[in-house]
């Protein structure tokens, strides 16, 4: 079964590194699906030249208007962007995003036919994650186009895989039962190369999200090739 690999570049890569990165990533031989989320200033290059899906790292909660520095879902869609990360914990930490503003961004994505990659669960407590999802998914009836990225900052692979699997199963079953749909659930939270295949053995997990290291094409090439 194909897995989903989301590459969140964060604020990495300079322009002279972009084309070599794209060329090398295009040459990677994998049966899995890849979504690359570069900085906004490089989105056009990835859309025009990459063989893989392209996502933004953030999106405005507003459709349009006088919001200097913001980028709307309509603008991203007109560029050809198919996905957008929404609710990453770094934006909560540094830009004081709330679950309420993230919910608005989520709705903006869905209204513009952009598949949101919804990050949640940073405390590593399942009850917190489920409480957050209640607010994050307010006024949303269909979750078929949402990619749920469970990113527990306080959960590590030092814990047994069975403990992590229990958390994932709880979240998966909650979403499945509430929305009568099979959730597209991936795992983030500081994934390292040695952890990936172990995590992907969890039946309810459809993929992974890789952070800063994903901007290093040599390292990410090895990681992708090593995924079963």
- Give the residue numbers annotated as catalytic, written as ranges: 88, 151
| Secondary structure, 3-state, the chain | CCCEEEEECCCCCCHHHHHHHHHHHHCCCCCCEEEEECCHHHHHHHHHHCCCEEEECCCCCCCCCCCCCCCCHHHHHHHCCCEEEECCHHHHHHHCCCHHHHHHHHHHHHHCCCEEEEEECCCCCHHHHHHHHHHHCCCCCCCCCCEEEECCCCCCCCCCHHHHHHHHHHHHHHHHHHHCCCCEEEECCCCCHHHHHHHCCCCCCCEEEECHHHHCHHHHHHHHHCCC
């Amino acid at each position: 079964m194909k897995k989903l690999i989301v590459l969140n570049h964060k604020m990495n890569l300079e322009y002279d590194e972009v084309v070599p990165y794209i060329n090398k990533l295009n040459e990677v031989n994998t049966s899995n699906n890849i979504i690359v989320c570069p900085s906004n200033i490089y989105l056009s290059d990835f859309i025009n030249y990459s063989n893989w899906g392209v996502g933004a790292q953030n999106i405005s909660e507003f459709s349009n208007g006088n919001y200097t520095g913001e980028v709307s879902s309509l603008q991203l869609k007109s560029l050809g962007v198919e996905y957008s990360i929404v609710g990453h914990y770094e934006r909560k930490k540094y830009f004081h995003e709330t679950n309420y503003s993230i919910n608005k961004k989520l709705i903006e994505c869905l209204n513009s036919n952009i598949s949101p990659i919804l990050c949640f669960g940073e405390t590593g407590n399942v009850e917190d994650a489920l409480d957050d999802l209640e607010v994050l998914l307010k006024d949303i009836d269909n979750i078929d186009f949402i990619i749920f990225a469970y990113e527990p900052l306080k959960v590590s692979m030092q814990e047994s895989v069975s403990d992590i699997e229990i958390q994932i199963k709880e979240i998966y079953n909650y979403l499945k039962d509430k929305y009568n749909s099979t959730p597209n659930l991936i795992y983030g939270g500081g994934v390292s190369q040695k952890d990936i295949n172990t995590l992907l053995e969890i039946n309810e997990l459809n993929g992974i999200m890789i952070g800063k290291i994903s901007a290093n094409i040599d390292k990410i090439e090895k990681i992708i090739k090593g995924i079963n």
